[in-house]
Amino acid sequence: MKVPNNVVWFEVLLYLSLTLDALSVAFGDRGSVGDLLAPMFLEAGLILLLVYFVHLAAQKRKNWPRWVLTALLVLSVLSLLPELAENGIEIGSGIELVSCVLTAVGLYCSYTGDARGWFNA
């Protein structure tokens, strides 16, 4: 069965967002080397889990990962707002903002147009 266009956009935009997140983790400002490994592995593991959720939603037609991704977007935005209010847009928060926008547009595509019937199967 052919994947609908909106689902393709959902998949591409969320993979772009997760790529930005991975680059942010990889090149993020860290303290000493000892402080680097544990949080970095945790963040990398979370990104891999989210990649799996995108795959489940887009390719396996599962609806629940799409809802989990939506909830995580809301939490990301809520955690980003105080940082933006306090510091304004800096490089790290700017990357996070772009990532949130890409995720929001991708999720919007997954809930609209020809994607609606894809997740109800």
Q: What is the pLDDT of residues 5-58, one digit of tens each?
A: 999 999 999 999 999 999 888 777 665 555 667 788 889 899 999 999 999 999
Q: Look at residue 67 and tell me whether its pLDDT is greater than 80.
A: yes
Residue 84 lies in a domain: yes
Measure the CA dihedral 21/69/75/12, to 10°: 40
What percent of the chain has pLDDT above 90? Answer: 68
Residue 95 lies in a domain: yes
Residue 55 lies in a domain: yes
Residue 78 lies in a domain: yes
Domain that holds residue 17: 5-115
Q: How many CB atoms lie within 10 A of CB 84?
A: 15
Q: How many domains does the chain have?
A: 1
Distance of CA 48 to the CA centre of its chain: 11
Residue 88 lies in a domain: yes
Residue 24 lies in a domain: yes
Residue 121 lies in a domain: no
Q: How far apart are CA 113 and CA 65, in angstroms?
A: 19
Residue 60 lies in a domain: yes
pLDDT of residue 39: 80
